[in-house]
Amino acid sequence: MKDLSTYRNIGIFAHVDAGKTTTTERILKLTGKIHKIGEVHDGAATTDFMDQEQERGITIQSAATSCFWNDHRLNIIDTPGHVDFTIEVYRSLKVLDGGVGVFCGSGGVEPQSETNWRYANDSEVARLIFVNKLDRLGADFYRVVGQIKDVLGAVPLVMTLPIGIEDEFVGVVDLLTQEAWVWDDTGNPEAYEVLPVPEDMVDRVAEYRQQLVETVLEQDDDLMEAYLEGEEPSIDDLKRCIRKGTIALDFFPTLCGSAFKNKGVQNVLNAVVDYLPNPTEVDPQPEVDLEGNETGEHAIVDPEAPLRALAFKIMDDRYGALTFTRVYSGTLKKGDNVLNTYTGKTERIGRIVEMHADSRNELDKAQAGDIVALLGMKNTQTGHTLCDANKPATLEPMVFPDPVISIAIAPKDKAGAEKMGVALSKMVQEDPSFYVETDEESGETIMRGMGELHLDIKVDILKRTHEVEVEVGEPQVAYRETITQRIDDTYTHKKQTGGSGQFAKIDYIIEPSEVGAGYEFESTVSGGNVPREFWPAIEKAFAQSMEEGTLAGYPLLDVKVTLTDGGFHAVDSSAIAYELAAKAAYRQSIPKAGPQLLEPIMKVDVFTPDDNVGDVIGDLNRRRGMVKAQEAATTGVRVKADCPLAEMFGYIGDLRTMTSGRGQFSMEFSHYAPTPNNVAEQVIKDVKERKAAS
């Protein structure tokens, strides 16, 4: 049996451009996995092996790799930072035991960092913080630490302090040992000396070390007592308390450095080994039944226990589909038959491989605590549980956000149609936040996703990876509808033909419910005017009708239907009759209830140089945006606003023009809000024209 105490399953996550991939590269170099360091900006990083990643210099897929440090095995997953690929981060965090949050020393806590941090909080992942790029102009370690407190509401436990800043950044002071690690200018990560603390930093080091000791000792009352009596705790005692507090999420050890210049990465690796949990120290995954209710059982990390594994990512490469899987308990062997609880079918494990970015080592088996890739899985998708067929159980199901933007695509030639279908079904398997459907009326293929860039990359993957040329339509916004008034109404469905007829009468109230409540149904019928067994049929019929609104055919949100009374016939009433009555009632009443078009509002976060703030705000106002806040950053201003998605197409090009290429922005879906009348009229008119044309 493997010694799991030497395992660390960690993810590296951060905002776009904070240096995650570069940090991963340095870790691989230090641990001897690679001998030449690849650079992101040269398009040669090891973990960014997709063409699209190398060109754009961003990570799209989470790449998995493993290496060794101080006799500990690290399974590392490098996750994307771009908002459109957050789903990758979410998925990765689900299966990790610990994480390293990378923050840019000059940019600080950026919008995407907040989202990722929130996800990590939801998944209760213990993390370290690495403040990177301290060699950059405008870098300020202490400011970033302040932002982590204020913006993320987290407790950073400062473990290292920078020596020098910007161009003069040469190394870090380790507060535990009170030693200075100073690197030379060669860029070799191993070329450092351990020196005494520089004189000009002695007071600051003493202040921060005192803070560190006092925070940490709260984890152990006996040590705290001894400390208050003047006894200095040993470094081993401090490390033990830091580990305890980190795993309990009481604080987050915070380190600093510059991954690009190879300074400070060893300290991060040491901290991963010293403070992040091994698979046995994390709360075991709860098991759920097929309805999603917890059974009270847990997947205990034990190779002898029944098999429980979670597929958290599907990736298609030149060898076929790879199913990345985290084994929570039991052992997975080559040739085993395992049960997929989602499909209810058994699958045979073809090959098990250990990944290092895009190369692989064959394995005969994997056991609790391992992260491996499986080849030859037919029906397994992201979020599916693989388990022992004799003792089935499901690990918690994953929830994915709804897409907010769609585009129509068509193959350029007839021959590409079949090819496109195959490629799209592969891509849907890989990415659950990406949907493909066929429009029934027009027969068009519609792609739906989380943002413009998300769909842009999908079209690119179609072209490059699958060699399918497609024509792309205008992006379409996923509007919704709702109602604004309460309607008391009644409807009777009667049909008399030879033999038994149909009869159903319902009295009902349709009214707006609270924002975000979705569809609610209630029955207050007393007596047997509408027998109880027919209520589900009425509820279901209204729910189905809500899929299509009366204004422009978009789904209806936040509506409550109350069944108040009705009529019943002993022979002629049936579930079908009540279903037809409810559908007709919907068509009768919704147009009278003040229907309203809703549009998706995005939370937009724009970074702009000081000189262009006025232009950026003016432009957001023209786009019907509501500016919420402005925050001064070191190199410019962050403008936060709520903006309708419909107005944000092509925004990146306009922003770059306004700011001479220096502006950046990110956006994520926030909520639905009423569409102004003039815009709503235009949308309804366009929908009608599209329907007429098809």
- The pLDDT tens digits for 287-313 are 776 666 677 777 777 778 888 888 877
Query: Is 82 labelled a binding residue?
Result: yes
Using pLDDT thresholds of 50, 70 and 90, give the confidence band for residue 20: low
Q: Residue 592's pLDDT is what? A: 92
More confident: 107 or 679 = 679
- Please check the confidence at residue 160 and state whether its pLDDT lies above 70: yes
Q: Residue 564's pLDDT is what? A: 92
Q: Average pLDDT of 390-399?
A: 73
Q: Where would I find the H helices in 431-545?
A: 452-464, 535-545
Q: For residue 91, what are its two tokens? A: 């998925």
Beta strands in 330-444 (DSSP E): 331-333, 337-340, 345-348, 351-356, 359-363, 365-367, 371-375, 385-387, 394-395, 405-411, 435-438
Q: Average pLDDT of 248-254?
A: 92
Q: Residue 407's pLDDT is what? A: 84
Q: Average pLDDT of 24-35?
A: 65
Q: Which of 209-218, 405-414, 513-522 has the lowest mean pLDDT?
A: 405-414
Query: Is 150 labelled a binding residue?
Result: no
Map residue 291 onto helix, strand or coil.
coil
Query: Is 79 labelled a binding residue?
Result: yes
The pair phi, psi for residue 238, each rounded to 5°, is -60, -45
Q: Residue 318's pLDDT is what? A: 59
Q: Residue 403's pLDDT is what? A: 76
Q: Average pLDDT of 402-417?
A: 80
- The pLDDT tens digits for 568-583 are 888 888 889 999 999 9
Using pLDDT thresholds of 50, 70 and 90, give the confidence band for residue 32: low
Q: Residue 46's pLDDT is what? A: 37
**Closest C-alpha among 328, 426, 323 to residue 368:** 328
Residue 303 CA to residue 432 CA, distance in Å, equals: 30
- The pLDDT tens digits for 75-97 are 887 565 444 455 656 666 777 88
Map residue 257 onto helix, strand or coil.
coil
Query: Is 135 labelled a binding residue?
Result: yes
Q: Average pLDDT of 252-271?
A: 87
Q: Residue 56's pLDDT is what? A: 37
Contact by Cβ (8 Å): 20, 89: no
Helices (H) and strands (E) in the chain, counts: 16, 38
Q: Residue 423's pLDDT is what? A: 85
**DSSP for 518-577, written as a single string:** -EEEEE---TTSS-GGGHHHHHHHHHHHTTS-SSSSPPB-SEEEEEEEEE--TTT--HHH
Contact by Cβ (8 Å): 260, 136: no
Q: Average pLDDT of 276-285?
A: 82
- The pLDDT tens digits for 608-641 are 888 889 999 999 999 999 999 898 866 678 899 9
Residue 136 CA to residue 104 CA, distance in Å, equals: 9
Q: Residue 81's pLDDT is what? A: 47
Residue reference for tokens 């993390």: 127
- Please check the confidence at residue 387 and state whether its pLDDT lies above 80: yes
Q: Residue 483's pLDDT is what? A: 92
Query: Is 605 labelled a binding residue?
Result: no
Contact by Cβ (8 Å): 279, 301: yes
- The pLDDT tens digits for 102-122 are 888 887 777 667 767 877 887
**Helix then strand then coil, % of the chain, to nearest 5:** 30, 35, 35
Contact by Cβ (8 Å): 449, 400: no
Query: Is 134 labelled a binding residue?
Result: yes
Angle at 400 (CA atoms; ends 394, 406), nearest 5 degrees? 145
Q: Residue 543's pLDDT is what? A: 92
Q: Which of 39-48, 236-245, 292-301, 488-497 has the lowest mean pLDDT?
A: 39-48
* Domains of the chain and any CATH numbers: 7-275 (3.40.50.300), 285-395 (2.40.30.10), 405-478 (3.30.70.870), 481-593 (3.30.230.10), 598-679 (3.30.70.240)
Q: What percent of the chain has pLDDT over 90?
A: 18
- How would you classify the pairing of strands 487-495 and 252-256? unpaired
- The pLDDT tens digits for 580-597 are 999 999 999 999 999 999
Q: Residue 440's pLDDT is what? A: 66
- Cα–chain center distance at 180: 38
- Please check the confidence at residue 203 and state whether its pLDDT lies above 60: yes
More confident: 91 or 16 = 91
Query: Is 606 labelled a binding residue?
Result: no
Query: Is 132 labelled a binding residue?
Result: yes
Q: Which of 188-192, 196-200, 420-424 has the lowest mean pLDDT?
A: 188-192
Q: Maximum distance among all alpha carbons in the chain? A: 103
Neighbours of 564 (CB within 10 A): 18
* 160 burial type by CB count under 10 A (0-12 exposed, 13-18 middle, 19+ buried): buried
Query: Is 313 labelled a binding residue?
Result: no
How much is the mean pLDDT over the chain? 81
More confident: 414 or 98 = 98
Contact by Cβ (8 Å): 458, 449: yes
Residue 180 CA to residue 40 CA, distance in Å, equals: 29
Q: Any idea what DSSP says for residue 263?
A: B
Query: Is 78 labelled a binding residue?
Result: yes
The pair phi, psi for residue 380, each rounded to 5°, is -90, 130
Neighbours of 366 (CB within 10 A): 26
Q: For residue 438, what are its two tokens? A: 């066929």
- Please check the confidence at residue 355 and state whether its pLDDT lies above 50: yes
CB neighbours of 283 closer than 8 A, spacing ≥ 6?
124
Using pLDDT thresholds of 50, 70 and 90, give the confidence band for residue 456: confident
Using pLDDT thresholds of 50, 70 and 90, give the confidence band for residue 62: very low
Residue reference for tokens 């990146």: 652
Using pLDDT thresholds of 50, 70 and 90, give the confidence band for residue 19: low
What are the residues facing 489 on neighbouring strands?
A: 508
Query: Is 133 labelled a binding residue?
Result: yes
Query: Is 309 labelled a binding residue?
Result: no
Query: Is 17 labelled a binding residue?
Result: yes
- Please check the confidence at residue 662 and state whether its pLDDT lies above 80: no
Using pLDDT thresholds of 50, 70 and 90, give the confidence band for residue 52: very low
Query: Is 22 labelled a binding residue?
Result: no
Q: Average pLDDT of 395-423?
A: 77
- Please check the confidence at residue 57 and state whether its pLDDT lies above 60: no
